[in-house]
Every structure is written in structure tokens, then in C-alpha cells.
Amino acid sequence: MQKTYDAQNIFARILRGEIPNKTVLDTPHTLVFDNINPAAPVHVLAIPKGAYVDFSDFATNASEAEITDFHRACAKVCEMLGLEAGGYRCITNAGAHGMQEVPHYHLHIIGGRVLGRLVDPA
């Protein structure tokens, strides 16, 4: 499914330097920064620098270099932030049912405490 990318979304603006962020890791294809509203002691967001709406857009249309860089950056951040020992959770929300707020693909990397169940019963 072809998805239209909104170049005014807040993560696009962060990538253009129009909005500040607390950068954790910056690589050729990926930016990782602190979530402004953390859900746990560690809560960072990893975003590709390319214009991808969500997970499936990224997985389908990004280059192998972008996909590799993104996942290596996420793994590096887990190590850098001390998450490997206790564990962590990576989540990506997509579309209306996923309750995605920002239409630029991002992976939430969350940890620093026991996180509870993944999904609340409806």
C-alpha cells in the first residue's frame, strides 16, 4: 500500500534541525533520541533519516544500508544505555489501530524496569 509522507511531521522537523532533541546516537541513516514523555526510566525513539511513514513502509522501501544501519544503531543503543542485562522492549505503532501519533517510522526502545504485559485487554 502506497502511503503519503507528511514532511511537516514532528520527527521530520527534528531531522531538519527545526526542533531540538536530546540525541543518544546519530549514524549515517539513523537518529536515536530521548522520548519527550518517557513511559519508563529509559525510553528512546529510533528513527530512520529517510522519509518512511511506518514499519512496513520502511521494511518494504528502505535500502539494505538503511535497514542494516537502523537495526545496528538500535542494538548499539541498548548496549550503551545498559539495557542488555535486565532486558527491554522494542515497540512500533502503526496506523489507527496501532495508535501511531507521529507518521514517521520510529521504534520505541523502553527499559529500566519490569514493563508488564505487552497489550492491555480491550
Q: Which of 29, 43, 106, 108 is catalytic?
A: 106
Nearer to ligand AMP, 85 or 119 (CB): 119
CB contact set of 95 (below 8 Å; sequence gap of 6+): 54
Provide the β-strand partners of residue 26.
Answer: 31
Residue 122, amino acid: A
Residues making contact with ligand AMP (CB under 6 A)? 10, 19, 21, 35-37, 45, 93, 99-102
**Is 39 in contact with 111 (CB distance < 8 Å)?**
no
Nearer to ligand AMP, 21 or 30 (CB): 21
Is 97 a residue of the active site?
A: no
Give catalytic residues, as residue numbers. Answer: 106
